[in-house]
Copies of this chain bind each other. A is one copy, B any other.
Amino acid sequence: MTSRDKRRNEVWFTEESTRDLRLSLRINGELVRKESPYQSIMALDTAEYGRMLVLDGAIQLTERDEFCYHEMMAHVALCSHPNPKKVLIVGGGDGGALREVVRHDSVEAAVLVDIDEEVINTSREYFPTVSCAMDHPKAEILPMDAMVYMKDHKGEFDVIIVDATDPVEMAAGLFQSPFYRDVWEALSDDGFMVTHIESPITDAAVMVPAYRAMKEVFPAVYPYLGFMPTYPSGMWLYAIGSKAHDPSEPVRKAPEGLRYYTPQIHRGSFAMPPFLSDMLDGVTDVSSNY
């Protein structure tokens, strides 16, 4: 062996966040890789962010920062609805949103409907801190098509959380108005739908159409922002479609023990930078980079 500096053996996972942008994480080990009927599933142990779930090449969650996403998906809607009793989670098979939902005393039933049972199984096996509420007495886990489920449960839910993967292939329909109309039908008269609509920086071409599709269905749509370190750009937009209430002000006490959400974070998250308002309002053309 010739003389050279001592080198380490290294494995890296790289996400192609966009055609022109990549995020790479050093990997301590591979936990599982499998193919479900719907997607490629991997669980990796990263040096920076703990265990990480990857679906079709896209980072879904890491142990270290998933609370940022799941707390903002659940508590903004739940803390601004006067009395959320029944909650539906569409997608979210990892169980992170479910874990946050069952923390609320008012919630009597939380139904998780994810089409891919393998995601549910993977989370149960490799992400115990995320899937920990799957056996909670309030929880019901259904591996099936949420569109089919919702057609049989009209007017039932106070809050519907749409925790979908990125809008490619099977999840693309979950960012369009026919799907949002199914959600509307499954909501109670004063219900909230909440979803994420991607990054204003790297995914504007998805975000704006998704926002407009929600506005075609709901009389009022309220966008709000949160930090999400392992999602592209770290700047993540959520939106609540509302039938009646204004979700920008919390009306109920948050559960104990949260790490991201507070009432102040809730209020502040609805403040939109002008560059983003201009995109949502159509002032800025997002078909090209702004």
Contact = CB atoms under 8 A, between A and B. Distances in A.
Nearest to A12: B22
A271 B265 contact: yes
A265 B273 contact: yes
- Chain A interface size band reads 35 or more
Interface string A211-251: 00000000000000101110001110000000000000000
A259 interface: yes
Contacts of A235: 227, 229, 234
A24 B25 contact: no
The winner among A261, A264, A273 for most chain B CB atoms within 10 A is A273
A22 B20 contact: no
A14 B14 CA distance: 12
Interface string A258-271: 11111011011111
A260 B234 contact: no
A46 interface: yes
A71 B18 CA distance: 26
Contacts of A68: 273
Contacts of A19: 26, 47
14 contacts: A12-B22, A14-B24, A20-B25, A20-B46, A22-B23, A48-B202, A64-B201, A202-B229, A227-B227, A228-B234, A258-B274, A264-B268, A264-B270, A265-B272
A190 interface: no
Contacts of A67: 275
Interface of A: 12, 14, 18-26, 46-48, 50, 64-65, 67-68, 199, 201-202, 225, 227-229, 233-235, 258-262, 264-265, 267-275, 289-290
A290 B50 CA distance: 10
Contacts of A260: 273-275
Contact of A21 (B20, B26, B271, B289): B26
B234 A259 contact: no
The winner among A261, A274, A289 for most chain B CB atoms within 10 A is A274
